[in-house]
Every structure is written in C-alpha cells, then in structure tokens.
Amino acid sequence: MKAFGPFLIVAIWLVSCAFASTFNPLQHSGPASPYFDAPPEEGISESTPDGCVVDQAAYIVRHGSRYPEPGSFSGWQSLYQKIQNATFTAKGPLNFIPTWHPPVDDVPHEPLFLSSTGALESFELGVQLRKKYGLTSGGSNFTVWAAGQQRVVDTASYFIKGYLSQGNYLTAPDENRAFVVTMPDSVNYTFADSLTSSNGCPNYSGGNNGTNQSNAFRATYQTKIAKRLNAYLNGLTLVETDVGVMQDLCGFQAEVNGDTRFCDLFEKSEWLDYEYAHDLNYYYGSGPGNPFSATVGYGWLKAVTDLLVAGPNATTANATFTPPPLIMSFTHDNNLPPIVSALGLWNTSHTAGVYPLPATRIPRAPFAFSASRLVSFRGYVALERLSCAAPLADTVKHTAGQRVALPGTAAGAQKYVRVRINNAVVPVPGCASGPGSSCPLAAFEQYVNGPRAAAAGDFVKVCGLQGVANATGAVDFFTQVPSTNAQSSVFQLPVN
C-alpha cells in the first residue's frame, strides 16, 4: 500500500467531509440514480495531468435515465392502488401521499424507454466529450456502437446529436454525419462478440444472481423503516415491499418530473442501507462476486486494449474499419460490472472484511464496490490513453508563424492508460506509477494479456460452449463493420 503524506491525507479527509456535508440521496440510489460525477478516489484529480493530452479513449456507457421497466411499474401501480383503496390520514413527511400518483401519463409509450432527462444526459455527454478531448475535427463523420434495445439506441443517438452539434453542415451532406453500429441485444448466439455478452455465456446466470444477498440485507432494515413511517399514518399500513418501491421512486421521479418528495422521506442511514442492497445485487449478480463476470467482460477489454496499443487511427490486422479515436459503446447496467471485473477493480482492499462483500453489514472502507457510482443512469467505464512529456516551462518563447506544440503531442511522448468510472479516476491495481496515477501503456497491455486474461479464462470453455458452432470469445465488431460474427448492422443518423 502506498504511504500517503500528511498533506494528501488531509486533502482526502477534506474531500470526504465536503461530500458528507452535502449528502444527496440521488447519489446513493443505485441503478435509479440520475447521472452524477463520482467523488475522487484516493485524492486523485480528475484533470488530465500537466504535460499530457488524451489522444484516444474508449467508453462503455449505460443508457440514460428512463421510465421504469414494466415489472417495476407494476409495483408503482400496486402502491398507488393501495393508497387509493384506503381511507386514512397522513401527516408530517407523509402528508403528500394522498396526492401522489405514478409519474407515467402515457403507459403504452413511456415505461422501458428514455425520459427527457435521459435524452439530456446523453446529449450533454456528447457535448462534454467533444469539448474535453477534441479528438474529432470539424465536419468529420463519427461512428458509435450500441446494443439494439431502443433505449440504448436512443442514448447513442442523443449522444451523437450532442457530439456533432457544432457548426452548420446543411450544405455539406457528406460531412458531420453519424453512423450507429447496432447489434442484437441480450441474445445467446453472438457469444462474446456483443455488448450484452453475458447472455452468450450459459454458465453466467448460474454463477450468482445477487438476489439472495440483497434480499437478506433488505430484511435487516426495511421492517424498521416501515414501522417508523407508519407512525405518520392512520388507516393505512406500509409494509417492507412498499418501502422498496418508495425508495426506488426517489430516483425515478426526480429524473422523470423533478419530484423529490420520496427522497425526503428517508434518513441518511436508510439511504446507505438501500444503496448497499444494490451494491450486493450487482457485486454478486454481474460484478466481481460472480465467478463468470470477468469472463464475459474480458472480450470488450481485450478489443479496446488492442486499439489503445495500436494508437489512434491505426489500422489493425484483418480490419475492414478503423474506429475513431473516441470509441463509444452503449449498453445496459448489468454489462458494466463485468468490465470492472475484467479490469480487476473494486475487489481488493487493505481493510479486512471488505471483500467479498458481506450480506449482513456495510463494510466501512473507502472506495469499495459501488453500484451508484457505476450503474447510475448514463454511468460508464472509460479507458483513456495519455500521451505525456515534460509540462510547459514557466517561460515559453514563441517565434512568429510557429505554433508551440502542446506537451505530449510530439514524437517520443510516453503513453499511459487511466481508467475512469463516472469520471473518477480509479487506479489499476499495482500499476499507478504514471502521471495522475496512470499505468504505463506497455505495463497495462501486459496486465490485460497476462493476469487479467488468466482471471477471465477462455470464454468458450468457461461458459461451457465446447462443441457449439461459431462460439467465440473474441470481439471483432470495432474493426469489422458490419461484423458477421456480431451480426451487426449500420444506420446513418443525419444531425444537420
């Protein structure tokens, strides 16, 4: 473990206090959290280090905020009917309950699909990354990849609209255009060559689904919450399942119509319990607690690592397509934890009793596995390739007609990789010696092809697919467009 100096320890403490003093339930609502930037880990600045530029990056992104899925919506409807069918009085923090109704006004067209907030989150990400990296020159066309469900395709489309929103290209119909590579969503016949690869691994769902652990933990707190809230009701009795629905409604209503009254019902400790139940669900269901998680996440990681090693705009062997320097993938919440598992993140700790996550208590350790900071709406895992040299001197001479090159852009610059989860930099275990706790590119390549490949194993064998025709553990859809193995297709999205 690194030895931190007193000034860094104080800085971490101040950051922790700042976040603690502004507790926001919407940042502790697991997969119902609208997007937020995660707080920094180990005091690492989110800024690109001095002397460095990002010359290539790859993102895998959950779709933006949405209306509930039909199963969750039925829970909302049941709660509403329970309230409407009762004669009761409500006081104090529950006095709004008689006025409440589910925030869905077009049942055939809203549940399951993006909300306006989801569209805005996606558009904003496009604008942010265009400004942040400057990897695409004006007028250039741009390609992204998306799993095929409509909310994912819509997220990719709104991202593109933000990313290509600069300038005016109405008179240049071949410029500033976007292409979305879509592939079958949640199918078992494209195996690892997919943005929903867990569905192609028969053993994955039996590895652990997280339900037992999360339900066991919910049993430790939901009854207490129901008892506390029932003190404000006369003629209506809330039960444990009602508590779960009401906590879900905090995040969903906030992003659908801005109503945060359910957020105000619960105490900080109750939100931390609610959050940890989601941590358990994702950790054991699709994250490091599932022994097949790294296997299904490794294909994307390996394909992206190969592209980072080759460098921006480089042509790789057998490629029919060269991806842009910014490689954007869009998928679902359960497809992000396997990437964390493949990277070997959030599954080791110098604090005893943290991993595997216990189902009876919340481990008091910083930077533990966090569903809210990973699978929030529009949550993401990103790998940035840094190109670094000595920072600019205090005094820089300029010669007329000769622009001074930014440090990191000249030949001979050193290359590094940084991982971001919802913007926070997360160090690669045992490889954080570079600027901004980055990992030297060559060391990162060795890490992915060595210990992480060993941890993942062979997709076909680990998933029990021996003898299955066309079964593959390789991802080719970034460099084969369209890809026969991934059964991908391409559509053009006019922006201007």
At 490, list the tokens. 């391409």
Annotated active-site positions, please? Answer: 63, 333
Q: What angle do CA 96, 102, 108 make, to 5 degrees?
A: 165
Which tokens sit at 362?
């919340």
Residues 27 and 17: their CA atoms lie apart, in Å, by 15
